[in-house]
Structure formats: structure tokens, C-alpha cells
Amino acid sequence: MLPPKLAKMMINLSTVSPLSKGGLRGVLLDPFCGSGTILMQAALLGYQNAIGSDLSPKAMADTKQNLAFLTKSLPQLSTLNYQLSTLDATKLSTTHKPNSIDAIVTEPFLGPPLRGSEPTEAIKKIISELSTLYLRAFAEFKKILKPDGRVVIIFPILKSWPSISDQQLEQIKTLGLAPAWNVPELLRPLLTKRHSVIYSRPGQRIEREIFVFKKIK
């Protein structure tokens, strides 16, 4: 499960405040919402408008149950306006209007759990399937994000192999989404050469590589 602390950090990195400039509330989307960790943290941070979707009806039922528990436990959250639906992240633009989303904050499908004994060929196959999914999803993110909209996303590193290559990062840039960390000069050295931050514990087979992108065209 995505650690709630990391979910909260990712929402903050989106730089969308719960209340946006024009008085309208910022709209966050998690298109791989799983059991709803990011959406629940968004609710706790004061985001009134959020959208969650997932390919799995079971995941959607879990998200609904978790959010219902949260709003029942904390009456101040009873006015939440969260839209939840079962949807393939590679078809987001069939449901969401162009230029309608302020930020996408998500931990996508990270691949099957690893035992550690998988041969290199098997890892390469998983990576190829994951990167295809991510690039298709990014083509949709581009359509539905507002100008300057952001994507805060985790790409897994499987046994030291990044799931997105440098070349694929360039493809994402060509699509119109460029790396956009808003970090003070002093903290720049914390970023990798790929403009990412690695979040992992020693011995983990799957590490998390966090990226922030901004829609530039």
C-alpha cells in the first residue's frame, strides 16, 4: 500500500491548493485510485473536489467504503464532492472534458509482486508492459489537464531497472509534459539526473521513483 505520508507529500507537490485562485476549488484526479489512499489524504487536507477511478470494480468498491468510513468518522468532511467511477486510465478522455483537471496525483499499477528470483527477461517483459500502460495514460493526461496542470506520479524501479527509460521520459516531454519540481535551489542536489526522487527502504524489490510533470503545451 502507498504510505499515507507519501500520498500527502505527493498531493502537496501538485501545488494545487484546496481553493484555487479564482475562488474555484482545485480538481485533483487519481486515475489508478486502488483503495483510495490518495483520495482519503486529499480529503483530510481539505480538497472538496476530487475524482477517483480505477479499472477494477473491486478497487472502486474499496475506495467508496474507505471514503464513507472517513466522512462518517469526521463530520467536517460530510460536504465532500468526490466523483468515483470504474474507468480505464488509457480512456480518461472518454469521460473527462479537455482542460478540466488541475492535477493528477497517482500511484499507477506497479506490476505483479516480485519474489526476487525472476530472470532478467521476465523483469524486462513486465517493464515493457508497464511503460506501455504509462505512456498511453500520459497521452490521456495531456488531453484532460488544464494548461499548467501537473502530474505527480510514481514509476516503479524493479530490481534496479527503471520502468520508464530516459528515452520514454523524452517521449513524455515531446507529448507536452515536462519535469517541473518546484524545489528551492538548495535542495536541487536531492533530485536525480532524471529529475526524480527515489523513495525506498533498504532491501525493497520494488522502489518508487517520484516524478512531477507540468503541462507545457
Give the x/- contact pattern for ligand SAM in 126-165, rule: CB under 6 A.
Answer: -------x--------------------------------
Nearer Cβ to ligand SAM (49/63):
63
Q: Is 7 in contact with 37 (CB distance < 8 Å)?
A: yes
109 binding ligand SAM? (CB under 6 A): yes
199 binding ligand SAM? (CB under 6 A): no
Give me the residue whose beta carbon is nearest to ligand SAM: 34
**What are 78's three cell numbers?**
460530510
Nearer Cβ to ligand SAM (133/144):
133
Helix (H, G, I), strand (E, B) or coil at 47: coil
Nearest Cα to 103, choosing from 53, 148, 54, 137?
148
Q: Is 43 in contact with 67 (CB distance < 8 Å)?
A: yes
Q: Where are the beta strands (DSSP E) in 46-190?
A: 49-54, 81-86, 101-106, 145-158, 161-162, 177-179
Q: Is 134 in contact with 155 (CB distance < 8 Å)?
A: yes
Q: How far is the CB of 124 from ligand SAM (least distance, A)?
A: 19
Q: How far is the CB of 23 from ligand SAM (least distance, A)?
A: 30
Residues that bind ligand SAM (CB under 6 A): 1-2, 31-32, 34-38, 54-56, 59, 88-90, 107-110, 133
